[in-house]
Amino acid sequence: MIAPSKNGWVVIAGLGPGNEALVTQEVRDTIDAATDIVGYIPYVKRIAPRDGLTLHASDNRVELDRATHALEMAATGKRVVVVSSGDPGVFAMASAVFEALEAGPKDWLDLDIRVLPGITAMLAAAAQIGAPLGHDFAAINLSDNLKPWSLIETRLRAAGEAGFAMAFYNPRSKSRPHQFARALEILRDACGGDTLISFARDVTKPTQQINTVALKHATPEMADMRTMVIVGNRDTRAIGRFVYTPRSAGDATS
Ligand code: SAH
């Protein structure tokens, strides 16, 4: 039993894209040393129960409450791991913990807080596809939960026109079925219909599916919330079963 003390800590850890072999040793060791695990229900399910470990699973969209709870527990001496899928700094819990820290009591700044990286879905998907992010790219969250849709449209168009390859998280949900269709329209316009787009679903899980088409043939139904979408730039090409983006662009090779 840990007495309330200054020895508590909060670690915000990434569990990778799904395959347990892709959880880092650093994250495993930290989970082994924890008294409490905090996170969204499906991610907490990935942690094996054991004596001395309390699992606090919560629903989606309560990130700030969850982060505050983690900091409160650490302040009473608990050793808390906040789990995210992929990397905790990519559209996930690390920022939520710092938001809670900023809003909380000043003495929380003295807590032992660390962020441990994980393999983000974008990189796991790119590796399965080949090397679609081999040149400059932008990572964009297509959810309008925390930003207006108009800003997403602006960023999509700007990134496409600037020649960035792109990786999309949270591409399409049931609550906003028309938005991904609109995103595809903007991309066709900004990048050209022949640009390759890959849909990588359940990456590194037994149910993994990868599908690559030209943007002009892409349909909204090809994506859901378990899909990472990667759009190449105009130089991105298919070679056998791989898709890759050359390392040079513009007139760098001439
Ligand atoms: N922090 C996470 C991302 C959270 S946002 C990370 O770094 O990966 C959640 C989105 O990530 C999902 O909607 C989906 O677009 C993507 N995603 C997460 N795991 C995935 C997987 N195994 N396969 C495909 N996409 C995945």
242-244 and 237-239 beta bridge pairing: antiparallel
Q: Which uninterrupted H or E stretch holds 211?
A: strand 209-214
Q: Computed from CA positions of residues 41, 7, 28, 134, in that sequence, does the dihedral angle turn out positive or negative?
A: positive
Q: Which atom of ligand 1 is nearest to the CA of 122?
A: 8
Q: What is the pLDDT along the chain (254 residues), one digit of tens a residue?
A: 333 446 899 999 999 999 999 999 999 999 999 999 999 999 999 999 999 999 999 998 899 999 999 999 999 999 999 999 999 999 999 999 999 999 999 999 999 999 999 999 999 999 999 999 999 999 999 999 999 999 999 999 999 999 999 999 999 977 877 999 999 999 999 999 999 999 999 999 999 999 999 999 999 999 999 999 999 999 999 999 999 999 998 866 44
Domains, the chain, ranges and CATH? 9-119 (3.40.1010.10), 122-244 (3.30.950.10)
- Interval between CA 203 and ligand 1 midpoint (Å): 9
Closest Cα to atom 18, ligand 1: which residue?
Answer: 121
* Distance, CA of 234 to CA of 231 (rounded, Å): 10
